[in-house]
């Protein structure tokens, strides 16, 4: 088959470009020709509204989806946690890259002891906000939007005590400062730390190229986490966290999932270890367990509160 240049669509933020160039290098190393095409996304433009108020799940992926459907680009690279669990018609998950750091971290101003007194923390994520309130009910949480660089700058420009970030994003573009705390008690977003590459389902040449980049362990773990999210109907709006880790020695999967009320006062958790053979329905069954233990009512309350 004739060699074609694989056009990689990307947002023009530093992190998005890093992700696109990473995939570009991997494809180039396999002998494929590539070209980077930058596309501006609505999520980068509307910075004054929290993500969930925009009423869109996958706001950062939408513009690239349209560019792909229009035939302007062949593939897009996303932080997997930003990708809606239902992909647009015609677009498929073509590869999941090996996962990086899954943790959330708190970047502070040099004084890590503020967690014991009333403090102000910044995050644009409902999941992080709810888990923070659950642990520190006397704190104030303020909204923080924009790409990683913008959010780091806003933290410096405001008198907040700290802000929550995904460790992987800061590490990828060497922005992780010395003043940080690993929030190992906070359950990350489903698929946090992983990158997903999407392509058109009828583009066999590109799909074949990308299949060589797929990391099977990461694919399985993130599949379970996103199945949990999808079954709870989270989209990007409900405070839902999930993390699956694979234990190679025992061939088991460890699943941690959480659903919280927006104010953090209610928290439904699940923590279980299963044989690897049970992976296909693990996220679904874990979500059902949460829904049967009060999650159905809690999800309704969350939806109602976000409509106001």
Q: Catalytic site residues?
A: 82
Angle (CA) 234-78-14 rounded to 5° is 125
Angle (CA) 156-39-126 rounded to 5° is 45
29 to 25, 74, 97, 217: CA distances (angstroms): 6, 18, 15, 22
94 to 90, 192, 301: CA distances (angstroms): 12, 18, 36
CA-to-CA distance for 292 and 240, rounded, in angstroms? 16
Q: Name which of 78, 79, 83 is nearest 193 in CA terms.
A: 79
- Centroid of chain to Cα 217: 17
Contacts of 305 (CB under 8 A, 6+ apart): 262
Instruction: Output phi, psi for 185, to 5 deg.
Output: -85, -15
Residue with tokens 């302007």: 72
162 to 51, 129, 184: CA distances (angstroms): 20, 13, 16
DSSP secondary structure letter of residue 277 = G
Q: Name which of 186, 189, 208, 190 is nearest 199 in CA terms.
A: 208
* Helix, strand, coil % in the chain, rounded to nearest 5: 40, 25, 35
């Amino acid at each position: 088959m004739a060699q074609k240049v694989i056009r990689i669509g990307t947002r023009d933020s530093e992190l998005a470009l890093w992700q696109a160039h990473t995939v570009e290098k991997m494809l180039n190393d396999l002998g494929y020709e590539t070209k980077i095409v930058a596309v501006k996304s609505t999520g980068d433009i509307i910075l004054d509204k929290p993500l969930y108020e925009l009423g869109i799940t996958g706001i950062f992926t939408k513009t690239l989806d349209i560019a792909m459907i229009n035939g302007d680009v062949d593939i897009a690279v996303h932080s997997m946690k930003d990708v809606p669990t239902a992909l647009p018609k015609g677009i498929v998950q073509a590869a999941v890259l090996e996962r990086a750091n899954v943790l959330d971290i708190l970047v502070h101003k040099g004084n890590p002891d503020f967690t014991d007194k009333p403090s102000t923390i910044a995050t644009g994520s409902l999941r992080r906000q709810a888990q923070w309130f659950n642990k520190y009910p006397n704190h104030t949480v303020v909204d923080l939007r924009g790409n990683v660089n913008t959010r780091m700058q806003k933290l410096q420009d405001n008198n907040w005590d700290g802000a929550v970030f995904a460790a992987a994003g800061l590490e990828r573009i060497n922005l992780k400062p010395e003043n940080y705390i690993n929030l190992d008690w906070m359950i990350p977003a489903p698929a946090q730390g992983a990158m997903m590459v999407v392509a058109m389902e009828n583009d066999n040449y590109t799909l074949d190229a990308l299949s060589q980049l797929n990391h099977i362990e990461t694919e399985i773990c993130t599949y379970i986490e996103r199945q949990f999210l999808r079954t709870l109907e989270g989209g990007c709006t409900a405070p839902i966290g999930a993390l699956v880790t694979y234990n190679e020695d025992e061939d088991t999967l460890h699943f941690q999932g959480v659903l919280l009320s927006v104010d953090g006062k209610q928290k439904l958790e699940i923590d279980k270890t299963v044989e690897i053979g049970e992976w296909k329905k693990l996220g679904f069954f874990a979500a059902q367990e949460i829904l049967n233990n009060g999650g159905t009512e809690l999800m309704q309350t969350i939806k109602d509160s976000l409509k106001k």
